Amino acid sequence: MDETAVALAEGVPEVVPRFTRLAANDDSHTLIFLDDTSLVSRRAEEMTLSSLGRLSASIAHEIRNPLAAIRYSAQLLAESPDLNAEDTRMVEIINNHCVRLNDIVENILQLSRRDRSRPEMLDLNDWVLRFVEEYSESNDIGDDSLRAITQARAVEALVDPQHLQQVVWNLVQNALRYGRMPGEPARVMVIARNATEQGPPLLEVVDRGPGIPPKVAAQIFEPFFTTHEMGTGLGLYLARQMCDANQATLEYVPVPGGGSCFRISLGASVRMAASA
């Protein structure tokens, strides 16, 4: 019989059926194997993205020098006393797009030179308290609210602290920028907890904004996908890649009543290492 990959309902892995008769005669029962091809597909996708990353990094290096020259020239033009209002606006547009292009270049280069994970045992309760304090001291958040939520019991995880810092910094930055209702300050929480009493340690960044439409949410972790004019479309993709490097998962979870939650969950192998 045909051994062709079969796509089942949404969220169910793609499988390839294999059929084997239990005996040589035609009347015997048939044993059916269903091979999950999702792992192979995921590895193939990772190899493709890795090759794309190396190519993109090469292109990014070539873009960097002319981009710096354009930006420097625009800054010199902006200092000219002879510019009228229209020319000043045009120079500002050039500068803004140079900043965006530079962000894209930096993200691509970061992707190509991503360091290997160096996990350490972290107390996530202490970590989120220090993170929120550091972020608030480094950024003027104005009337916005950024809070750390901790637990009475220990929440420990084995993870690379530098990777975790970069991931959560990106998530909090996005939440403060986009996770707000019109005309209202942003309210963002960084939460450390365990999924259940024996469950995996979780770290969540939650806002009370409008949330993300389902069709958009399905694409937000794809490279270069963005719904914002000045976005690079690489921040969440890089965040998930860093989580993968730490055997963790990063997912988007809608918040009942409005808002967004980006949840980092440490996998089983990490929990086993943490308890060893």
- Does the pLDDT at position 104 exceed 50? yes
Buried b (16+ CB within 10 A) or exposed e, 149-186: ebeeeebbbbbbeebbbbbbbbbbebbbebbbeeeeeb
Residue with tokens 């943490």: 274
For residue 2, pLDDT beyond 60: no
Amino acid 52: pLDDT: 62
Query: Across residues 229-256, what is the average pLDDT?
Result: 84
Instruction: Of 199, 202, 205, give the one whose Cα is nearest residue 249.
Output: 202
pLDDT for 234 equals 78
Average pLDDT for 52-61: 69
Q: How confident is the model at residue 45 (pLDDT cuts 50, 70, 90)?
A: low
pLDDT tens figures, 123-171: 999 999 999 999 998 888 889 999 999 998 888 999 989 889 989 999 9
Residue 11 has pLDDT above 60, yes or no: no
Give residue 13's pLDDT. 55
Q: When comparing pLDDT for 192 and 37, which is higher?
A: 192
Q: Are strands 201-207 and 187-194 parallel, antiparallel or unpaired?
A: antiparallel
pLDDT at 30 (0 to 100): 79
Residue 233: what pLDDT? Answer: 74
| Model confidence pLDDT, tens digit, residues 195-234 | 777 778 999 999 998 889 889 988 888 877 777 766 667 7
Asked whether the predicted pLDDT for residue 105 surpasses 80, the reply is no
Residue 13 or 20, more confident: 20
Record the tokens describing residue 107, joined without a space: 């993200």
- What is the reported pLDDT for 3? 47
Which residue did the predictor score with more confidence, 251 or 40? 251
State the average pLDDT over residues 222-249: 81
User: CATH for 120-275?
Assistant: 3.30.565.10
Looking at mean pLDDT, say which of 28-42, 47-61, 94-108, 175-189 comes out highest. Answer: 175-189
pTM over 0.85: no
Residue ranges of domains in the chain: 1-36, 50-112, 120-275
Would you call 261 helix, strand, or coil by DSSP?
strand
Is a pLDDT exceeding 60 seen at residue 81?
A: yes
Query: What is the per-residue pLDDT for 268?
Result: 41
Flag the least confident range among 31-35, 147-151, 188-192, 225-229. 225-229
Mean pLDDT of 228-251: 83
Q: 56: exposed, middle or buried (C-beta count within 10 Å: 0-12, 13-18, 19+)?
A: buried
pLDDT score recorded for residue 47: 67
The per-residue pLDDT of the chain, averaged, comes to: 80
Q: What span, in angstroms and rounded, lies between the C-alpha atoms of 122 and 125?
A: 9
User: Cβ distance 194 to 201 under 8 Å?
Assistant: yes
Identify the pLDDT of residue 260.
93
